[in-house]
Chain A
């Protein structure tokens, strides 16, 4: 299996909702990432997990809460989002340093 699987593919949520994005990989990669991508912009790093520990939080608002239950799974819990949080949320994994990411297909999130 050489893929990163993200669910759901599309999500529409209200500003008072709580939802979760899920990411799964079975390539044995020990680093996993969340990126946010707005239209016509590059991906922006949000969080990095290395060996299931949070290594980087790029000053992301607390309404985004990451979780890494095990080496294959990465979640992003969403609560009280704002319309400006609407974007494509990309999960990625990498083998280790100096190796490229494998990106998932992303979750297109719309906050209404």
Chain B
């Protein structure tokens, strides 16, 4: 089955700096890669996703890159703000039928210091 590894487990940056979180996946059939942000005590929320036919996607300060050959994808956050502090999860899915079977990475705890 799919296995997703995520690094680093914790990341501490100064406000305004960039943050990068990296994930690798094992199943070459995986074709959908979302990123979720989970604040303490709250639900995971989808912040950006990328499909296997695209190499890069950007949404304001957030971007995701995908390298299918290396089975590697990354989340980039620029101009970080204290409200970006949260746990970020990457996930991968080899979609089939009418659903996604998302397998999550272990998570990265991001702390943005003012």
Report A's interface with B, CB cutoff 8 A. Answer: 30-31, 33, 40-45, 48, 50-51, 55-56, 90, 94, 96-106
**Closest chain B residue, CB of each to CB of A30:** B98
> Chain A residues near B42 (CB, 8 Å)?
105
The residue from A41, A90, A97, A104 contacting B100, defined by CB atoms under 8 A apart: A97
User: B residues touching A (Cβ–Cβ < 8 Å)?
Assistant: 31-32, 34, 42-46, 49, 51, 89, 93, 95-107
Which of chain A's residues has its CB closest to B31's CB?
Answer: A98
The 9 closest A-B pairs by CB, nearest first: A97-B95, A31-B99, A42-B104, A100-B46, A103-B43, A50-B99, A50-B98, A100-B34, A98-B32
Please give the distance in Å from A75's CB to the nearest CB on chain B: 18
The closest CB in chain B to the CB of A103 belongs to B43
Query: Are B98 and A43 interface neighbours, CB within 8 A?
Result: no
Interface centre among B32, B96, B97, B98 (most CB of A within 10 A): B98
A48 to chain B, nearest CB (A): 5
Instruction: List the A side residues contacting B96 at CB < 8 Å.
Output: 97
